[in-house]
Every structure is written in structure tokens, then in C-alpha cells.
Amino acid sequence: IALAAKTRTITSMANEEEYSGNVKQQLAKLFDASLKAAFPTGPDVEPLVAACTSKFGDYQCNNAMGIFSKIRGQNTEYKKPASVGEAIVKNLPPSEMIESCSVAGPGFVNVVLSKIWIAKNIQKMLIGGIETWAPRLQVKKAVVDFSSPNIAKEMHVGHLRSTIIGDSLARMLEFSNVEVLRRNHVGDWGTQFGMLIEYLFETFPNIEDVNETAIGDLQAFYKASKQRFDSDPAFKERAQKAVVSLQGGEPKYRQAWMQICEISRKEFDKVYKRLKIQIEEKGESFYNPFIPGIIEKLSEKGLVEESQGARVIFIEGVNIPLIVVKSDGGYNYASTDLTALWYRLNEEKAEWIIYVTDVGQQQHFDMFFSAAKRAGWLPADGSAYPKVNHVGFGLVLGEDGKRFRTRSSEVVRLVDLLDEAKSRSKAQLIERGKAEEWTDDELEQTAEAVGYGAVKYADLKNNRLTNYTFNFDQMLNDKGNTAVYLLYAHARICSIIRKSKKDIEELKKTESLVLDHADERVLALHLLQFSEVVEEACSNLLPNVLCEYLYNLSENFTKFYSNCQVVGSAEEISRLLLCEATARVMRKCFHLLGIEPVYKI
Ligand code: ARG
């Protein structure tokens, strides 16, 4: 093990030296040099480089107009923005990256990349692995707080969205070499436990009898205890005392609380297991012992004020204050979140903390983030590190356009939902005759990959802030922008390679990738942009950006494949390498979206 660890650091160091940035960053470096050379006395500007899809070029540098407006009048050499553009082109250091440059319109500098350079880079990735294209971020350690259902309450589709989006963000960060603390901030503390525990004692005088099967449905149990709480004042009083006993750490109460949590946890784990989600529980209760100290710290800074019996923090621009101690002296969601934030910053040393919940909680996050800034825990500049982000998402809707429910208008059990996705995809595979062709295991595994993949992709492909309609037929369609279509596309590429009977491992050493056909070049350039797309998806916390990239990749491949013969052509080796590179990038996209690839169909 020690040896393995050693070689790993050595190779990663080697990569570090070699890493020169993604296409955009490399071009930015060249333009930076050019700007400094062309305008040695200023203005001092950052190079503005962006990919573009015009017929004039692959990338654009957009600095000319800005510079022109700054030097206008003082420098007679430049009569119009286009002449600034020309100066930028003239001063570009020579580079094997660039095939040609031209100035268009009011000074846009268009760059055509060299196809030899593009080919070389793809070849390098084939040899060094897709990890060589991993983005480099500014942070070393991040927390992704996601999923986070509540004990004894239902884990609903909102939690499913949080689980899917959060997992994908964590994967993208991990790929970018960030250490990610995947946190399940479960709601396992609060006054509702008094009522639950008291009801538990009442229903099971003999505590040994308590287990999953005895309680059955924990949500029904919650409802029943709530009803008891609301209708019987004596019960209510006992429940309130039970909270005190629980918080005081009385063993009997603590044990009952643990039992209730354990039953919920088992339910949640069924979902995580199906979706292969890695997450570590650090629920609200974990932070409870630290709350008084944190409130104290905030009070010392003069942030905490009295208001109608409660202790609150006022936030500029918001009418209602953030309550941190309730009027009965108890703590709440905000006190826990402030404390958890403090813990993550100071104990866990996280530099970026990301919270994934529905947009409905936006105000809560905005408010406690502001409080943390006032306390000086976070820099006032929201883009500086350490940084916090609330990743909000919209609702999941049913066919009727209303909140997603079952036919009998109950909340959908997530396990049932996932099981249905799987069984529907299995039925499709059987219809395609796969039951005869494949082993039972293969059928099962593919049905799972496709079924769960479909649910995840349908969620991730939309901008997360929009509501989306849950529709099995749509998400399991093998045409259009769906996981099914994409997974099949990948499987087809794998089969092209298999059928060629060529050894890719040998071919990739031959440096024979050429990009003479226009469709080869388009596909190859798209592949090369993988790194900057992941970086964008990661920095802006938008998995849909990666989905869009993946879908376009598949479209570009289809175009290439229908216009360029692979097997049996003169360019066979080169084109097989392009197939292999496409398959690899697709697989990495699937991986980052939490989708398992399939290799045959
Ligand atoms: N338990 C909360 C809910 O179900 C989500 C918690 C999100 N995380 C956080 N740190 N507040 O809505």
C-alpha cells in the first residue's frame, strides 16, 4: 500500500508540472502576453477569451473594444477598435496551438486552433488517462451538504433532487482534486422528538419490543403521535418534559431517540444503496452541544439582540430578524446551521461549503450567510474564499402540473419510484429481445443502470432552478435528450471498437490521429473542451451544463459516424482512436452525473 501511495504522488506531481490549463486558459495566457506587448503602458486588462461557434474561429478574444474605449483620444495610433484587434493579433507570441487569427467587425479576434495540436492533445489524453483533463480549482477542501431528510418524516422527491444534484456536484469537485466532505445534515433533533418518544413509551411499555417491524411505518407513527399531542393536553405536557429529559441526556430517552433515528436511517439507506450514494451522516444533533458557545461568540460581537422574548440577529435589508434562540430558550434550524457553519469552517477547515435544498429555503440561507459575514467568519466579498453557496432547485411536478404525488394523492415513496424506473427499463430491454441474448445478471444490471440513470438525468439536465415534470415515458424514451439515448450511444461506440477487433492499447501509442475531415475536427475540438466545461459546471454549481455538453458530444459523434467510415477505411486507426476518446469522455460524463455506463445493447 505504501508503495502504491508513493507512485501515485509521483505521477500526480508529474502531471502538475505538465498541466498547462484547459484550452481557454492556455489561450488566455497567450493573449495576456500579447496585450502586455501591444500596450506596455496600459490599460492593464485581463484577457477575455471565450469559445465560440462562428465560422470564423473556435475561440474569440474580446478585449479590443474595451481597450479602445479606454485609450480613445490619448493614442492616435488607433483610429477604431479593429486596429486594436489587429495590434493584439500582431503581438501574439508564436504558438503551435494556433492555426490562424483574424479580426472581425469591431475588433473581435477570432482564433482557429491547429488541428495537429488538437489531435496531439487527444492522443495525450488517451495515453495519460482522462484524469489529465481534470480541472484545477482554487480550493482544497469542500463540504457538500445534501440529501438531508428528516427523521420520522417522509423522504420526499425534494430530498431525491437534493441527493441527485448534491452527489453530482460532489463528484465533479472530487474529479477536480478537491477533498469533499459529503454531509447528510439530517433533521434528527428538535421538539418533535418529545412527542415521538412519549408516544413510543405509550405504545411499547416494554422498550425491548421496539423495532422496525413493530413500528412499521414511521410516518404513520409520526402522524399518530402528532394527533395525540394536539388533542391531549396531559400528553402534550409529558411530551414537553420528554424533550427536556432527552436534551438532558437521560439514558432512557436517549435510547428511545436512537431507536427512532435508526428506523428512519434504514429507510433512507435503501434509497442511497439503490443509487450508490456515498454520504456521511452528521445530523443536527451533532452540532447541538456547540450551540451555546457559538451563540455566546456571536453575542460578544454584539450581533445578538433581544426581540419579543427571543434572541435574534438583525440582517440589513431584511424585515424579519434571524431567530437564534427561541422565546422558550430552545434552539432552532438557524442556530444549528450557524453552528454547523462555524464547525465546518474552523474544525473541518472547509474552504467552500455548498448546501443543496429546494429554493424555498433560500431566505434562510441568505440570512444566516449574512449573519456569518457580519460575524467576520466569511469575507464580505461573496466570491472570495472561504465561500458558501446555496444551491437551490425547483419543484418536481406531476403530469397535472401540480406537486408530484401518487394517484391516491399521497407522497411518493422514493424506493417505489426507483423500483418502477428499473422495472420499466427492464421491460423495454426484454421487448428488445435481450432476455434471450443476455444472462439474468446482465439484464438486471443494465435495467438498473438505465432505469436509475434515466431518473437522475431527467433531473440533472434542466437548469436546477426550474420546476420539472416527472414522466417515466419521457425519461425512458430512447430518442431525444435522455439517459437512455446517451447510454445506448455509448454502447454503440463500444461495439464499433469491439467489432474492429483492433487493440486500442496498441493503437494509441502510434500517434496516428489525424483530423482532416470537418466532422472529425468538430468532434475532436468538442472532446478537448471537456475540461473547461466541467470547470464551468463546477464553479457555477450547474450540472445541466455538463448534461448539455454530453448531449452535444453524442450529436457530434453521430454526425462524424454517418459521414466518416470507420472500419475498413484508410483512416481506420485514427478514427478508432477518435471513437475511443469519445467513449472515454462520455463515460467520465456519466460518472460525474452519477450514472453507470453500459457497454452493450
Ligand atoms: N432537513 C432539511 C429539510 O428537509 C434540509 C437540511 C439542509 N441542510 C442544512 N444545513 N440546512 O428541508
Q: Cell numbers at residue 11, please?
A: 505521477
Q: What is the mean pLDDT of the chain?
A: 92
| Mean pLDDT confidence for 469-488 | 95
Confidence grade of residue 101 (pLDDT, cut at 50, 70, 90): very high
What pLDDT is recorded for position 11? Answer: 41
- Asked if 359 and 391 count as a contact pair (C-beta separation under 8 A), the reply is no
ipTM of this model? 0.99
Q: Please, what sign has the CA dihedral across residues 529, 530, 535, 538? A: positive
Using alpha carbons, select from 597, 551, 280 the residue that is nearest to residue 452.
597
Residue 483 confidence (pLDDT) above 70: yes
What pLDDT is recorded for position 353? Answer: 98
Reported as a single tens digit per residue, the pLDDT across 523-535 is: 999 999 999 999 9
Residue 340 confidence (pLDDT) above 80: yes
Residue 8 confidence (pLDDT) above 70: no
Reported as a single tens digit per residue, the pLDDT across 171-228 is: 999 999 999 999 999 999 988 899 999 999 998 877 777 666 666 678 888 889 999 9
How far is the centre of ligand 1, averaged over its atoms, from the C-alpha of 148 (Å)? 5
Most distant CA pair in the chain, distance: 93
Task: Give the position of cell 478537448.
Answer: 528
How far is the centre of ligand 1, averaged over its atoms, from the C-alpha of 57 (Å)? 46
| Mean pLDDT confidence for 393-421 | 85
The mean-pLDDT minimum among 27-31, 72-76, 111-115, 425-429 falls in 72-76
The atom of ligand 1 lying closest to the CA of 284 is 10
Residues 83 and 90: their CA atoms lie apart, in Å, by 10
| Mean pLDDT confidence for 76-84 | 85
The mean-pLDDT minimum among 277-291, 404-418, 470-484 falls in 404-418
| Mean pLDDT confidence for 354-373 | 96
> 388 has which bridge partners?
353
Answer whether 358 contacts ligand 1 (Cβ < 6 A). no
The atom of ligand 1 lying closest to the CA of 145 is 8
The atom of ligand 1 lying closest to the CA of 364 is 11
In 379-442, DSSP assigns E strands to 387-393, 396-397
How far is the centre of ligand 1, averaged over its atoms, from the C-alpha of 564 (Å)? 51
Task: Choose between 320 and 79: higher pLDDT.
Answer: 320
Q: What is the DSSP string of 52-69?
A: --STT-SEEE--HHHHHH
Nearest CA to ligand 1 atom 8: 185
Neighbour order of strands in the sheet with 387-393? 280-281, 179-184, 141-145, 352-358, 387-393
Residues 456 and 129: their CA atoms lie apart, in Å, by 26
Q: For ligand 1, pick from 357, 366, 369, 395 the residue to mutate: most ligand atoms within 8 Å of CB.
A: 357
What pLDDT is recorded for position 217? Answer: 77
CB pairs under 8 A, 24+ apart, for 133-136? 133/22, 133/530, 133/531, 134/175, 134/176, 134/177, 134/531, 134/534, 135/22, 135/175, 135/176, 135/531, 135/532, 135/534, 135/535, 135/538, 136/19, 136/21, 136/176, 136/177
Nearest CA to ligand 1 atom 4: 149
Element (H, E) at 448: helix 440-460
How far is the centre of ligand 1, averaged over its atoms, from the C-alpha of 356 (Å)? 8
Residue 401 confidence (pLDDT) above 50: yes
Residues 163 and 510: their CA atoms lie apart, in Å, by 43
Answer whether 184 contacts ligand 1 (Cβ < 6 A). no
For 239-248, b/e burial (b = at least 16 CB within 10 A) is beebbebbbe
Q: For ligand 1, pick from 143, 185, 291 the residue to mutate: most ligand atoms within 8 Å of CB.
A: 185
Nearest CA to ligand 1 atom 9: 185
What pLDDT is recorded for position 13? Answer: 42
Reported as a single tens digit per residue, the pLDDT across 534-570 is: 999 999 999 999 999 999 999 999 999 999 999 999 9
Task: Choose between 351 and 400: higher pLDDT.
Answer: 351
Answer whether 148 contacts ligand 1 (Cβ < 6 A). yes
| Mean pLDDT confidence for 20-45 | 92
Burial grade of 401 (CB within 10 A; 0-12, 13-18, 19 or more)? exposed
Confidence grade of residue 293 (pLDDT, cut at 50, 70, 90): very high
Confidence grade of residue 10 (pLDDT, cut at 50, 70, 90): very low
Reported as a single tens digit per residue, the pLDDT across 118-168 is: 999 999 999 999 999 999 999 999 999 999 999 988 888 999 999 999 999
Task: Give the position of cell 434571524.
Answer: 322
Reported as a single tens digit per residue, the pLDDT across 443-461 is: 999 999 999 999 999 999 9
Q: For ligand 1, pick from 144, 148, 169, 367 the residue to mutate: most ligand atoms within 8 Å of CB.
A: 148
Residue 408 confidence (pLDDT) above 70: no
